[in-house]
Structure 1
């Protein structure tokens, strides 16, 4: 099968959407499918990770306000129609709702090519954190119109599928997210790295991994760690990632360790060298970092939705507190920090819980779904 994947974000950009889409593309290729990548052009593209990995069509782009380093594709429907008329994919996956995604859905409809979309980001929630809460219902309505133009929309959890169906989203399909349990593993624990953090093996390393941005609710992670610190004077808070909030957080918390952005083995070592993972975000459609932390043998404290509801609540391998209950989040973090025996039990269960979520298994499900769209279109 020949599939075109359309995305506004792609490595070396580091975010959940870029890495999820890359995993799906690589999985299709491993299964013998042909993959074309359609994405915005960026400065320095000649040296990107996708060079020589996939056939690519790059379109003109512009910067994304408030997110330095990220770019969105400009409208390109006519170009896509011309390109796909001469090099026709059997199916199209549109991962993002930007101008390029809209162009791709329009081109697919004109050419009669089945297209599915991925619901990766709650932009209606994001906009409230950037000073425009009154726009949220309009953004959500626009997202619904976008996704309802596709043959189906992929979501990562049953909870999100039910939520969207209840709000008039049509043709929702659930496709689990994957985690590389060979990469993210407790065996990557690094005593040298912990020594640089000022910790012995019995010290407490509290970890957060993710984009440092307003919508990630990072002040709650800070509050939880400060309460942990009251009873664990030697604890350290390790912040992995970067973003517009880093400067403010570093200025107000000079004792924190800001490790910056990491990928692959370096990221895996940071996870595995921690002891407790705090994930206070309220705006995720899933939360890929939750699975990475679990695979690394870390108990997670988070809210009861997304990946946590799907994979933690029933397995007792972390603590899921009621959605948006900040006091419960802090109390759970403090309690788990003070109970090393419970953390150890949870660490083993966390690893076992995600062991079946291999990239190959998820890619087969994705390939089957795209293949079914092709058959339905041909009928």
Structure 2
């Protein structure tokens, strides 16, 4: 007969291979919706799951009778939603405080991370307050900058006031660039932390360049292919793209214009540039081939918080021409992997495109050094940074439970 050991084994003496936090992530947008917030947030959630965290994703239903998917590696909690005006393919979460209080009472998260500031995000903030949960947030979209492009510039101040109130109620707001942190600080935003966006360097790679795709575009080795990726909308400043293309054609350059994305400006662009190639919405796998097969990435937007397409293009070996703002400020090195134009001199955008596109040797030289600049933006590194921010928010909020104290001791804030 076996005799009991003098020192019985205590299960808690065997810690998990990695600390596991219970993280509720709240967002109004999620794949298959195609936008920078949805795509990068999905990468972050995947990264947190790989780091052994227990993630609960709270989002609006994308179709009426949608049910939570299983075997995703995280839990889905679906709320009511409605189409966003002017963006019918996207959903806006409806107020859901009562439902969130109920859900989080039954399954209490250690921290709530809110990625969007709509009604669902506000409800999550209020529910977390009721349950005394720490909250962090992301600043991912310049809604205050968009207002001037849609004839409601007078809403800029109220929008900024709302966003300031929203984010200042959280323990920390993550922003993707130092420039945005400086701007928001001037508007009274507090507790800001710079955490860059990541890029999938295995997918976005110069090796994806395709002679077959270029042949479909009727672009030979002497043709300069300009590419623009993003929503075809006023806030993307696409007049600059059209002006670059028209000026190069007028100068006799062999040039093609490829536009990836869709939106309300498509017909306007088609009328002005009838021979442009409209690729529409693409899968990420196909998009990677488009980037690598082009010669110059035109990104004239002035309303980005980051601009994920900038680092995707660079990782693909594609030189970037952008204004000196958002991700371009941090990751485009003039003459090394692209060119920057001052926001104060918008007329220089076209002249710079002319100088660059009509110098194939310069384009080729710069293309060879683009990828090295963004190699450090691996999603695993970004997820580790976010993990540290979440841990610090928990530590600073209240006295953690004994379980949390053990876990937080293994995480570097």
TM-score by length of 2: 0.89
Residue 12 and residue 199 in structure 1: after superposition, are their counterparts in 2 closer, same or farther (change >3 A)? Answer: same
2:222–2:254 contact (8 Å) kept in structure 1: no
Secondary structure of the corresponding residue to residue 376 of structure 2? coil
Alignment of 1:65-80 (within 5 A): 65-80=85-100
* Partner Cα separation in structure 1 for residue 166 and residue 280 of structure 2: 35
Report what 1:238 is aligned to.
258
1:45 deviates by 7.0
1:254 deviates by 1.5
CA RMSD of aligned residues (A): 1.6
Report what 1:52 is aligned to.
71
Report what 2:158 is aligned to.
138
Structure with the greater alpha carbon radius of gyration: 2
Alignment of 1:131-280 (within 5 A): 131-280=151-300
Secondary structure of the corresponding residue to residue 368 of structure 2? helix
Alignment of 1:12-27 (within 5 A): 12-27=32-47
1:47 deviates by 9.1
1:36 aligns with 2:48: no
* Partner Cα separation in structure 1 for residue 264 and residue 70 of structure 2: 29
1:203 deviates by 1.6
Query: Which 4+ runs in 1 deviate beyond 4 A?
Result: 44-48
Residue 47 and residue 323 in structure 1: after superposition, are their counterparts in 2 closer, same or farther (change >3 A)? Answer: farther
* Partner Cα separation in structure 1 for residue 105 and residue 310 of structure 2: 41
Secondary structure of the corresponding residue to residue 347 of structure 2? helix
* Partner Cα separation in structure 1 for residue 160 and residue 281 of structure 2: 30
353, 372, 377: which one aligns with 2:392: 372
Q: Provide Cα deviations, 1:94-151, integer angstroms capped at 9, x if missing partner.
A: 0111000000111111111111111011111111111111111111111111111111
Higher alpha-carbon deviation: 341-350 or 353-362: 341-350
Unaligned 5+ residue runs, structure 1? Answer: none
Secondary structure of the corresponding residue to residue 126 of structure 2? helix
Report what 1:362 is aligned to.
382
Residue 44 and residue 300 in structure 1: after superposition, are their counterparts in 2 closer, same or farther (change >3 A)? Answer: farther
* Partner Cα separation in structure 1 for residue 339 and residue 231 of structure 2: 22
371, 374, 378: which one aligns with 1:351: 371
Secondary structure of the corresponding residue to residue 112 of structure 2? strand
* Partner Cα separation in structure 2 for residue 122 and residue 9 of structure 1: 15
2:24–2:57 contact (8 Å) kept in structure 1: yes
1:342 deviates by 1.8
* Partner Cα separation in structure 2 for residue 258 and residue 31 of structure 1: 39
Greater RCO, CA 8 A, separation 6+ = 1
1:227 deviates by 1.1
Residue 228 and residue 74 in structure 1: after superposition, are their counterparts in 2 closer, same or farther (change >3 A)? Answer: same
* Partner Cα separation in structure 2 for residue 348 and residue 109 of structure 1: 51
1:239 deviates by 0.1
1:207–1:240 contact (8 Å) kept in structure 2: yes
- Count of aligned pairs between the two proteins: 378
1:311 deviates by 1.0
122, 125, 129: which one aligns with 1:109: 129
Unaligned 5+ residue runs, structure 2? Answer: 1-20, 400-413
Secondary structure of the corresponding residue to residue 81 of structure 1? helix
1:299–1:343 contact (8 Å) kept in structure 2: yes
* Partner Cα separation in structure 2 for residue 117 and residue 328 of structure 1: 36
Report what 2:411 is aligned to.
none
Secondary structure of the corresponding residue to residue 262 of structure 1? coil
1:317 aligns with 2:351: no
* Partner Cα separation in structure 2 for residue 94 and residue 69 of structure 1: 21
* Partner Cα separation in structure 1 for residue 89 and residue 379 of structure 2: 27
1:369 deviates by 1.2
* Partner Cα separation in structure 1 for residue 70 and residue 280 of structure 2: 25
Report what 2:149 is aligned to.
129
* Partner Cα separation in structure 1 for residue 284 and residue 375 of structure 2: 18
* Partner Cα separation in structure 1 for residue 360 and residue 65 of structure 2: 46
1:213–1:243 contact (8 Å) kept in structure 2: yes
1:148–1:169 contact (8 Å) kept in structure 2: yes
* Partner Cα separation in structure 2 for residue 232 and residue 356 of structure 1: 40
